Structure formats: structure tokens, C-alpha cells
Amino acid sequence: MPSRAIAMESTTVVFAAEKYNAKIIPNILTIDNYNGSQPAVISLQDRFTPSVTNGVPSPSVKKISRLKTTVDNGGLEIIGDALKDVEILGQAEVTIGTMDSSCFVTLGYDFE
Amino acid sequence: MIQLLPMPEATVTPGVPKYLQEGYFVTFTDKWPDSLSWVKGKSFVIEKTNQVPYDLHYIIPSNDYRDVDISNSSDGEKIYPENTKTLYQIGVGFKPANLLCELFIPAGEYSQRLEYASMVPTLSSSTLKYLGAFKPEDTPYDDKRLFFYAVYKLEPLIMRLYVDTGIDYDKIIAGLLVNKCYMRQVVLTPEQARHSEVIRYYSELRW
């Protein structure tokens, strides 16, 4: 299972690029805001460009939030069960309300 | 031409290969058109094979579809042979998704329908959209059970990939295994003919 731990030094961080012949299945999301300077408003995002279809001949980039949580400064949250059945169709990204280099996010995932 | 292999009721040892192998015989019925004279009414032995995997992928919104032409036409996926002595046996399987797959050959003509006039696949109907539609569990990615047979210049076969309601978008991943078969024409003995794989023209699927 691949995983990455990244400091939220910008408001949007890419954790896994789209794998075209698979979906990304997140297994664990850890938000370590122990040394954070403010509550971390975290969103797990799915970014992709849909295919041309009968109904949408010129599709545009879509960014869909698949999970949201807020972790108080001084706190740590480990999300496992709540990720059950969450699928990322395109690129897996994590956004934070206010960037904070002391807030660390770890995402573990598989491909399916 | 289009074949869905059912789940086996029993297993045999050694197993029977799903894909055509070297030394197998195939027979094209005489219903194939004169425009495909290189196979019409003829029998062949498979002299050599080569298996080529390929994945197609599309992200499609709910209640919408994409028509995927697997032929070599300009908008097609170029999965057809370019040689009159080649037969492509194409196994198709899908990864789990909220998918219905309808087949058309040629474009606009359903391959799976019932005999009553209105019993045709209809995506705008809450019931008839499930008529004639294959789902991922019918032909899983790792256990492909839907097979197409393509020869040079065959009319385009269209897979209509529809994402059913109840979801925002879904990613459709169609795994193909193209079994390239190089054929040599033969005259079959009655015993060989009994073991030959009969490949029917699509018009024989509608009666």
C-alpha cells in the first residue's frame, strides 16, 4: 500500500496522480495537527477531467470533495473506517483551509 | 460474433482454455456477407496466436453514456485486424462500477433485444435500460466472459457505456485481451467440423 506524509505548506497538496486504468482507494488518512497554529479544515479531493460523453461534449475539470473533517490545533485524527467505500477517480489531493507547515497529513491508498 | 460465456456448473481437470489456441479450428457460417468474402462460409485452422492486453478507461457522469467504437474507423479504438488472415478474439471485462453496457452492431442496431416490438434497450426508461445490458459482474475484469470476434473490414461494433443513476461520476475501466489468431484456410473432416468453433455473423443473433 503506497502512502505519503506531507506538511500542508500550501492549501492544496497532491498525494497521488491519476492512474488511468484504476481508481485510488484511500485506506487511511492521518491529520497530525499537534503543533498546528490553528484548527485544520481538511478536505480529501478528487480532481479529474471527465471523458467526452453524449451529454457533455466539452467536459471541464471537476474537483469533488470526498471527505471533510476539522482537527483542532493540538489534535491528531486517524481516519480509517470512514474511508470505507470512498473512491478517487482521478488525482487524490488534500486541501487545508489555512496553510500550515506544522500540520502533517498522511494518506495511505491502494489502486483498484 | 458476440458471445457471453456462462459461469461453469462444474470444473474439469485439466481446464478448458477460454481463448482460441494453436491447432483449433474455426468455421464462419455462410451468412457472412460477400463483402467479407475472405471468411464467408470458410473454415480455418489457427496456426499461431498472440495475446495483447489493453485497457480502456472513461470517467462518465451519472445518467450519461459514451459510445465506444472498437473498430478501426477514425473515431474508433482501432481494435480490429488489418489482415484478411487474422481473426481477433477479443475478451472484455469490467472493473466494478455502476455500469450498464449495451452493444450495437452496426451503429444504431441493438445486438441484444427480445422479440416483442418494444423490448429493446432504452436508457431513458427506468426498466428497459436494464434490458440487454451487461454489468461488470457479468464479465469481471479478471475473469472475462464477454467475447467479440472481429475480422478485417467487419462493421463497427459499438459498446455503449452508461453510468447508472445514484452516483456523481464513475470511472469505467474496460479490460481487453485481444487474442490475435493467424488463420490458414482448410477443408475440415466431419470429425474436425464437430470440434470447430462456429463464428456466426451478427445478423444471425437477431431473429
**Residue B183, in any domain of the structure:** no
- B77 and chain A in contact, CB less than 8 A: no
What is the per-residue pLDDT for B79?
Answer: 97
Which chain A residues have any C-beta within 8 angstroms of a chain B C-beta?
Answer: 20-23, 48-56, 62, 64, 87, 89-90, 112
What is the per-residue pLDDT for B17?
Answer: 77
Total of domains in chain B: 1
Please give chain B's pLDDT, 207 residues, in tens.
888 887 777 777 777 778 999 999 999 999 999 999 999 999 999 999 999 999 999 999 999 999 999 999 999 999 999 999 999 999 999 999 999 999 999 988 999 999 999 999 999 999 999 999 999 999 999 999 999 999 999 999 999 999 999 999 999 999 999 999 999 999 999 999 999 999 999 999 888
- Name the residue in chain B with its Cα closest to that of A48: B59
**Residue B17, in any domain of the structure:** no
Q: Chain B closest CA to A51's CA: distance in Å?
A: 5
What is the per-residue pLDDT for B18?
Answer: 85
Residue A83 φ then ψ, to 5°: -90, -5
CATH number, residue A36: 2.60.120.340
In chain B, residues with a C-beta closer than 8 Å to the C-beta of A48 are 59, 169, 171
Which domain does A32 fall in, by range? 3-50+59-111
Q: Chain A closest CA to B58's CA: distance in Å?
A: 6
Question: What ipTM is given for this predicted complex?
Answer: 0.94
Which domain does B125 fall in, by range? 50-178
Query: Alpha carbon of B19 to those of B24, B57, B144, B177, B179: distances in Å?
Result: 10, 23, 10, 10, 7
**Average model confidence (pLDDT) for chain A?**
96
**Residue B94, in any domain of the structure:** yes
- B64 and chain A in contact, CB less than 8 A: yes
Contact yes or no for A83/A109 (Cβ under 8 A): no
What is the per-residue pLDDT for B10?
Answer: 77
**Nearest-by-Cβ selection for A90 from B59, B65, B67:** B59
pTM of the model: 0.93
Total of domains in chain A: 1
Of B195, B147, B152, nearest to B25 by C-alpha is B195
Q: Cβ of A51 and B64 within 8 Å?
A: no
H/E element, B192: helix B190-195
